[in-house]
Amino acid sequence: MFELDMRSRQPIYEQLVDKLKELIISEVLKPDEQLPSVRTLAGQLTINPNTIQKAYRELETQGYIYSVKGKGSFVNPTSLVKNSEKLVSVIKELKKLLSEAMYLGVKPEELIELIHDLESSVGGGENDD
Amino acid sequence: MFELDMRSRQPIYEQLVDKLKELIISEVLKPDEQLPSVRTLAGQLTINPNTIQKAYRELETQGYIYSVKGKGSFVNPTSLVKNSEKLVSVIKELKKLLSEAMYLGVKPEELIELIHDLESSVGGGENDD
DNA sequence: TCAAGTGTACTAATACTCGTAGTACACTCA
DNA sequence: TGAGTGTACTACGAGTATTAGTACACTTGA
């Protein structure tokens, strides 16, 4: 499904969180779609189920998925992912990165073009109707 | 100068890197301005000089500062910070965050407005002339 | 009803990272 | 030449990540 960088300083469970989030945002994983079980994914990636569970718990905390004991873990419908605390931290981080990009020579026009390029590959928001 | 969150999961040296970078980008710290010495800042922040040195080394690796043995550490002139490897990783991270923001309901127009708001508070780039 | 699946949580062990304390060397400059 | 500067190293303790192992609660289909 995806590959992990075992030598990265970034913890394995965080890499999982990042990759699954990308799949949800780009709607490769669709709302209410079931995720692989923690034991299945653990077997596929040759890592411990507890590590998968840790990633899934983080995604649930951030509102991206929901889990049902005995049934599995599923992608949250996008209207349920609205998470104002999360949004505040994303915006804060975005400001830093946008400033850094412009400092490094990227023109505002280029960033605006980037936004338009990404617009069509994102699910959720309010342009799904 | 700034405050650190000793209880954060983010390592102290990384918090330093982030804050100093923000000061450089917003030109609170100006090109060729000297940074506090590692011993001075260590004293001010009540942390170990090796921790400061680690942050300064990271900033130097990323191209934001330069150091001279016996003289000190200085902000790199912005024309020297152009670092295409760094830029590539910033753009990659930006794409992820922009997608996430739109997924969470932020309209492209709002992001574009954010860019315009930030434009005036960034040094470097090519609008300094 | 039960077996196979699911999520969830806990303990304990190991390895890694972070921050510290301490120390020492090379350089600059007034 | 002394006081400042950066730089680098060892060793130690604390915290985190990952693992192995185990066990419990739930779901569902045969």
Task: Closest CB to A98: pick one of B21, B82, B114.
Answer: B114
- Confirm whether any atom of chain C, the nucleic acid strand, is less than 7 Å from CB of A64: no
DSSP A81-98: ---HHHHHHHHHHHHHHH
Q: How far is B67 from chain A (nearest CA, A)?
A: 20
**Helix or strand or coil: residue B116?**
helix
Q: Which bases on strand D have an atom closer than 7 Å to a protein beta carbon?
A: 4-10, 16-22, 25-28
| pLDDT confidence of residue A129 | 42
Residue percentage of chain A with pLDDT more than 70: 95
| pLDDT confidence of residue B121 | 86
Contact B125 A106 (CB under 8 A): yes
| pLDDT confidence of residue A44 | 93
pLDDT in tens, B37-93: 999 999 999 999 999 999 999 999 999 999 999 999 999 998 777 777 889 999 999
Q: Which bases on strand C have an atom closer than 7 Å to a protein beta carbon?
A: 5-11, 17-23, 26-29
Residue pairs spanning A and B at CB distance below 8 A: 131
Region B3-10: mean pLDDT is: 87
Domains of chain A (ranges; CATH) run 12-80 (1.10.10.10), 84-119 (no CATH)
Picking from A13, A75, A93, A103 by the largest number of B CB atoms within 10 A of its own CB, the best residue to mutate is A103
| pLDDT confidence of residue B1 | 59
C-alpha dihedral sign at B28, B34, B35, B40: negative
Q: Which of A49, A65, A63, A66 shows the shortest CA–CA distance to A12?
A: A49
Burial of A107 (0-12, 13-18, 19+ CB in 10 A): middle
pLDDT tops 60 at residue B126: no
| pLDDT confidence of residue B88 | 92
| pLDDT confidence of residue B2 | 72
pLDDT in tens, A73-101: 999 998 777 777 889 999 999 999 999 99
Task: Closest CB to B90: pick one of A97, A116, A126.
Answer: A97
pLDDT in tens, A28-39: 999 999 999 999
Query: Across chain A, what does the average pLDDT equal?
Result: 91
